Amino acid sequence: MYKRLRGIGFLIIERWMKGSDELGFDRSFRGPLMVLYSSASLTLFRFTCDVISSMLKAMMIQISVLEG
């Protein structure tokens, strides 16, 4: 799931780049933007996914304790 969402993020940036090309913007900022996206955003996204998955695990443990 994480890899699928990461791929969607790259697709969104690619579409945005193509749109900016059609508007006549320079593509020279594409490299730095991709580096920023891949390092900062994916680190934050990975952290968010870890937090969400740990919360879900905790909820499942609580549910199993309540049922048992």
| CA dist., res. 16 & res. 13, Å (int) | 5
- What digits encode the pLDDT tens for the residues 33-54? 666 666 666 677 777 878 888 8
pTM of structure: 0.37
User: Can you give the residue ranges of every domain in the chain?
Assistant: 2-67
**Which of residues 18 and 22 earns the better pLDDT score?**
18
Place of tokens 């891949």: 38
Tell me the two tokens of residue 20. 């900016």
